[in-house]
């Protein structure tokens, strides 16, 4: 018990508040796979547009479905989809950015022009094009948004690698005869953590918003599955009649994005204080 | 003239300047010496009224000619200070690259000093040149003195009553314009004069240049011109020569002495370099941890230091005596360099521009013998580092031959803060060369246990305790980091280590320790060193043989004693001055 209290004392407030907010959201999302207060797709004609009450914490929607249960399910979908988007785009970003930044040359030029081209289109529009080729659905949203978000990571990782590739300690590692891949990923990569982490945070938040946007446009998660964006889009017809229908998923998105931002700021500060 | 009484300054936390009292006499050159963090600069900035708002003066008073400038517990009187700053006391900073505004022409920057202070300065030299009271409006306008101006205004007023008001105002406007033009020309003349006085021969060109078009030494001269143009009673020079090359440094010191001689103003000269202080100053204060530990006439301090710290500081200064006898007699070449030219590719900045190949090192011919320390001395930009990178194989654009008779050489860099990977622990850093060696050559692979043992062994060799093994570079001081760098370079037992200015970023006492360490490790491990430095005294202390370089050419190479006693080249003589 003392150990736990000591650990809490050591953490900064950003980290603790962020952890609490994201933790709550993630727990609800995971819980939704096993249990929700009501079936997320169970309709009830008698309970349409019920205002929030003890029976239905967030109220009910136009089909009489429990909004809280649907938000729980929506969190699960949204968090998983956006995490995968970040993993794909950040992973590809590190790989491409590290290699182009460290080695430079023709390959670097070519890849940078491609990323320029990708950056030139609005991200949602580009994702729409990819989806119109692949067809809609969860996997395709993940894949297309993953591609769309890659260039921003490439740019950040590349510029950091360019900055560090001639640093004294890298120069000395080269003299010691350290292999190139080891220099790239063991010597340099940990040094770009703080910059990279900030972009992951922003990327994760963007992914949540983009996924919600795609679902809002009706090409992301397909009904009857719940997603926060899809719920927002469904709710817009009933804004005056049942404002809680839109508020619940909207505020949940704000909650997750804010919580994750605080969490990552806390982690960044912890890392910075270590150095 | 200046009296500082019991001054203490604190930022949030402990005091960085503690109970400092001293006086500066008229026309005196007072040196303040001490290592970084000893409170030299904070004292000077407090005196100038330039110290950051977050600093609190916790005790003491500052007087300038019996005028109280600053008193503890009272807020700084900025209005009062503005009358003194620039006009009666001025400052020359360390870094000539950043202390001039890069977007303003140099002339305009010097002129600004005049613009700000001229009106308050009745003793400005322009007054002596003012003409006799003028008979009419146009003539009087040409005179610059305030007195004449007042008379002209009085006359204009008188005329106003007689003539139609319209004509009078037109005349006044014309006169005002003419006066402005005259004042402007006058200011320019004075700026050019000031620039000439600080030894900038091509004053007109300097006047019209931007700071980036001038060299470091020229910029520092401009700074000095700015500081002395109004003939202030006190000039504070905070490490004015630290960022400059040795030969330029000599010139700036001569210039400061000349100005002090001609203008009879006092100079507060802050430096970490005791040799400089000895050459320039009448009196010296030694500071340590915010306290003045010793004070006295320069020669007294150097010949008969009383405090322990002063003794330590003076003995740490690399001099040209008391050198250890060299025992190296091997003439087996470890590295042979034949007819080496090293090039540097200047990349084109535009799409169709041509890349230009520049020759940095020209026709280098020399050998490094086994187990010796070869000193390489020269100014910044002379090609020392380029040569060393070519020898390490980091620069591939070369002509000529470099023959290595041992395994790959290692390097120690100047900046202890960037040469260690900040994300790793000391233990990891020390093991990494061994790991890399093992990966390259499986016959030399070591077990984890052996590596750890070797790392601890090296940690002891470079004079650090076991507890540092798990630390990160950020938790070490500059000297400790440089020790780790040296250990990292030596752990694979290379035949040659190239040390590029390894002590330039360190304080004198730390510098002496690192030099001792390099010598003792060299004796123990019989590793050859190519020791690069701009400081001829450091080179003298450490090396068996010396190589002098200028503008990419090797001018002279020979036994240390030989070169010092009997320099062949004119440039070497200048360096040894």
Flag whether B208 is in a domain. Answer: no
Beta strands in B347-377 (DSSP E): 356-369, 373-377
Which of A174, A219, A242, A235 lies closest to B392 in space, CA to CA? A174
In tens, the pLDDT along B262-291 reads 888 899 999 888 888 888 889 999 988 888
Subunit contact B420:A169, Cβ cutoff 8 A = yes
The CA distance from A110 to the nearest CA of chain B, in Å, is 15
Flag whether B323 is in a domain. Answer: no
DSSP tag of B381: T
Residue A89 has pLDDT above 90, yes or no: yes
What six digits make up the tokens of B551?
């503008």
Flag whether B433 is in a domain. Answer: no
Flag whether B41 is in a domain. Answer: yes
Instruction: Indicate whether B130 and B232 sit together in one domain.
Output: no
Among chain A residues, the shortest Cα distance to B440 is held by A177
Indicate the average pLDDT of chain A: 85
Subunit contact A175:B411, Cβ cutoff 8 A = yes
Supply the pTM of this predicted model.
0.74
For A165-192, what is the mean pLDDT? Answer: 89
Which of B546, B488, B552, B543 lies closest to B519 in space, CA to CA? B543
Tell me how far CA of residue A119 lies from CA of A134, A197, A268, B254, in angstroms.
21, 21, 27, 59
Subunit contact B436:A169, Cβ cutoff 8 A = no
Which is the CATH superfamily of the domain at A12-32+64-274? MetI-like (1.10.3720.10)
Stretch 147-186 of chain A: residues touching chain B, C-beta under 8 Å: 167-169, 171-179, 182
Flag whether B438 is in a domain. Answer: no
Among chain B residues, the shortest Cα distance to A176 is held by B433
Residue A157 has pLDDT above 90, yes or no: yes
B515 or B325, which is more confident?
B515
Q: What are phi and psi of A209, to 5 degrees?
A: -65, -40
Stretch 446-485 of chain B: residues touching chain A, C-beta under 8 Å: 472, 474, 485
Instruction: Indicate whether B223 and B312 sit together in one domain.
Output: yes
Among chain A residues, the shortest Cα distance to B435 is held by A178
Range of the domain at B137: 114-197
Query: Is the distance from CB of B110 to CB of B194 less than 8 angstroms?
Result: yes
Instruction: Indicate whether B119 and B93 sit together in one domain.
Output: no
Indicate the average pLDDT of chain B: 82
In tens, the pLDDT along B198-236 reads 888 888 888 888 888 888 888 888 988 888 888 888 999
| Per-position b or e across A213-244, b if 16+ CB within 10 A of its CB | bbbbbebbbeeebbbbbbbbbbbeebeeebeb
In tens, the pLDDT along B445-465 reads 888 899 999 999 999 988 888
Residue B164 has pLDDT above 80, yes or no: no
Radius of gyration (C-alpha) of chain B in whole angstroms? 29
Q: What are phi and psi of B78, to 5 degrees?
A: -65, -35
Classify B13 as helix, strand or coil: coil
**ipTM of this model?**
0.75
Cis omega (within 30 of 0) for bond into A224: yes
What is the predicted pLDDT for the residue at A267?
A: 84
Residue A91 has pLDDT above 90, yes or no: yes
What is the predicted pLDDT for the residue at B123?
A: 43
Residue B143 has pLDDT above 60, yes or no: no
Tell me how far CA of residue A151 lies from CA of A97, A112, A164, B223, B267, in angstroms.
9, 9, 20, 47, 58
In tens, the pLDDT along B329-352 reads 677 888 888 888 888 776 655 666
In tens, the pLDDT along B59-81 reads 888 888 888 888 887 788 888 88
Instruction: Indicate whether B403 and B523 sit together in one domain.
Output: yes
What is the predicted pLDDT for the residue at A86?
A: 93
Which residues in chain A have Cβ-Cβ distances shorter than 8 Å to B419? 168-169, 172
Instruction: Indicate whether B15 and B74 sit together in one domain.
Output: yes
Q: What is the CATH number of the domain that holds B93?
A: 3.40.50.300
What is the predicted pLDDT for the residue at B150?
A: 62
What is the predicted pLDDT for the residue at A9?
A: 74
Among chain A residues, the shortest Cα distance to B473 is held by A275
Q: Where are the alpha helices (DSSP H) in B241-382?
A: 246-263, 274-280, 298-303, 308-316
In tens, the pLDDT along B377-418 reads 988 778 888 888 888 888 888 888 888 888 778 889 888 888
For chain A, the helix, strand and coil percentages under 3-state DSSP, each to the nearest 5: 80, 0, 20
| Total number of domains in chain B | 3
Subunit contact A178:B436, Cβ cutoff 8 A = yes
Flag whether B341 is in a domain. Answer: yes
Flag whether B455 is in a domain. Answer: no
Instruction: Indicate whether B292 and B371 sit together in one domain.
Output: no
Tell me how far CA of residue A219 lies from CA of A16, A122, A229, B363, in angstroms.
36, 17, 11, 70
Which residues in chain A have Cβ-Cβ distances shorter than 8 Å to B439? 177-179, 182
Instruction: Indicate whether B137 and B248 sit together in one domain.
Output: no
What is the predicted pLDDT for the residue at B524?
A: 87
Instruction: Indicate whether B386 and B498 sit together in one domain.
Output: yes
Which residues in chain A have Cβ-Cβ distances shorter than 8 Å to B440? 177, 179
Tell me how far CA of residue B412 lies from CA of B55, B134, B166, B434, in angstroms.
38, 72, 79, 17
DSSP track, B419-457 = SS-TTS-HHHHHHHHHHHHHHH-GGG---HHHHHHHHHH
Segments making up each domain of chain A, as ranges: 12-32+64-274
């Amino acid at each position: 018990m003392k150990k736990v209290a000591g650990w809490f004392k050591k953490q900064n407030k950003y980290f603790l508040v962020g952890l609490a907010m994201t933790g709550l959201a993630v727990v609800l999302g995971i819980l939704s796979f096993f249990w929700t207060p009501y079936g997320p797709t169970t309709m009830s004609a008698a309970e349409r547009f019920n205002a929030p009450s003890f029976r239905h914490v967030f109220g009910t929607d136009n089909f009489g479905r429990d909004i809280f249960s649907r938000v729980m399910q929506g969190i699960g979908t949204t968090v998983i989809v956006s995490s995968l988007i970040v993993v794909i785009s950040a992973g590809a970003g590190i790989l491409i950015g590290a290699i182009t930044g460290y080695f430079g040359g023709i390959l670097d030029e070519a890849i940078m022009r491609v990323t320029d081209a990708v950056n030139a289109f609005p991200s949602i529009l580009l994702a729409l094009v990819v989806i119109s080729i692949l067809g809609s659905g969860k996997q395709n949203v993940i894949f297309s948004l993953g591609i769309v978000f890659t260039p921003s990571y490439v740019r950040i990782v590349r510029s950091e690698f360019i900055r560090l590739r001639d640093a004294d300690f890298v120069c000395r590692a080269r003299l010691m005869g350290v292999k190139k891949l080891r220099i790239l990923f063991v010597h340099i990569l940990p040094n770009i953590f703080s910059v990279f982490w900030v972009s992951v945070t922003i990327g994760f938040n963007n992914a949540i918003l983009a996924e919600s946007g795609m679902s809002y446009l009706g090409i992301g998660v397909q009904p009857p599955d719940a997603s926060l964006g899809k719920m927002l889009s469904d709710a817009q017809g009933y804004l005056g009649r049942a404002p809680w229908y839109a508020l619940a998923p909207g505020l949940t998105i704000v909650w997750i994005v804010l919580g994750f931002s605080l969490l990552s700021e806390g982690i960044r500060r912890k890392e910075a204080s270590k150095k | 003239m200046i009296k500082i009484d019991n001054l203490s300054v604190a930022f949030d936390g402990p005091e960085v300047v503690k109970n400092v009292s001293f006086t500066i006499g008229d026309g005196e050159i007072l040196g303040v010496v001490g290592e970084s963090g000893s409170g030299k600069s904070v004292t000077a900035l407090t005196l100038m009224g330039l110290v950051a708002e977050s600093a609190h003066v916790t005790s003491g008073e500052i007087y300038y000619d019996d005028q109280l400038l600053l008193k503890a517990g009272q807020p700084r009187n900025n209005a009062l200070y503005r009358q003194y700053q620039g006009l009666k006391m001025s400052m020359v900073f360390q870094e000539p690259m950043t202390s001039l505004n890069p977007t303003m022409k140099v002339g305009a920057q010097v002129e600004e000093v005049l613009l700000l202070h001229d009106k308050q300065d009745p003793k400005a030299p322009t007054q002596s040149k003012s003409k006799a009271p003028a008979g009419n409006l146009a003539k009087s306008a040409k005179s610059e003195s305030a007195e004449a101006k007042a008379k002209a205004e009085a006359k204009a007023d008188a005329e106003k009553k007689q003539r139609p008001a319209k004509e009078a105002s037109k005349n006044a406007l014309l006169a005002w314009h003419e006066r402005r033009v005259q004042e402007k020309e006058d200011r320019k003349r004075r700026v050019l004069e000031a620039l000439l006085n600080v030894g900038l021969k091509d004053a007109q060109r300097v006047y019209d240049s931007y700071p980036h078009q001038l060299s470091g030494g020229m910029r520092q001269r401009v700074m000095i011109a700015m500081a002395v143009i109004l003939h202030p009673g006190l000039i504070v020079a905070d490490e004015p020569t630290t960022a400059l090359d040795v030969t330029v440094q000599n010139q700036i010191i001569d210039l400061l002495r000349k100005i002090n001689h001609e203008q009879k103003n006092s100079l507060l000269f802050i430096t970490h370099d005791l040799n400089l202080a000895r050459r320039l100053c009448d009196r010296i204060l030694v500071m340590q941890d915010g306290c003045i530990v010793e004070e006295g006439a320069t020669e007294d301090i150097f010949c008969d230091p009383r405090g322990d710290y002063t003794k330590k500081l003076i003995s740490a200064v690399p001099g040209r005596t008391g050198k250890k006898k060299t025992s190296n007699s091997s003439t087996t070449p470890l590295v042979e360099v034949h007819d080496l030219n090293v090039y540097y590719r200047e990349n084109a900045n535009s799409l169709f521009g041509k890349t230009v190949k520049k020759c940095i090192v020209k026709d280098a011919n020399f050998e490094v013998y086994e187990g010796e320390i070869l000193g390489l001395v020269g100014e910044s930009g002379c090609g020392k580092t380029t040569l060393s990178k070519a020898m390490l194989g980091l620069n591939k654009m070369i002509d000529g031959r470099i023959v290595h008779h041992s395994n790959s050489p290692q390097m120690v860099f100047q900046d202890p803060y960037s040469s260690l990977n900040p994300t790793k622990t000391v233990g990891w850093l020390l093991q990494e060369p061994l790991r890399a060696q093992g990966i390259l050559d499986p016959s030399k692979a070591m077990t984890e246990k052996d590596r750890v043992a070797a790392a601890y062994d090296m940690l002891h060799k470079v004079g650090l305790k076991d507890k540092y093994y798990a630390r990160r570079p950020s938790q070490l001081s500059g000297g400790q980091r440089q020790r780790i760098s040296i250990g990292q370079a030596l752990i694979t037992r290379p035949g040659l280590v190239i040390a590029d200015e390894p002590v330039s970023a360190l304080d004198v006492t730390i510098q002496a320790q690192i030099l001792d360490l390099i010598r003792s490790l060299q004796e123990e491990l019989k590793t050859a060193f190519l020791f690069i430095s701009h400081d001829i005294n450091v080179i003298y202390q450490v090396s068996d043989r010396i190589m002098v370089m200028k503008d990419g050419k090797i001018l002279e190479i020979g036994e240390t004693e030989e070169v010092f006693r009997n320099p062949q080249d004119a440039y070497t003589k200048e360096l040894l001055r």
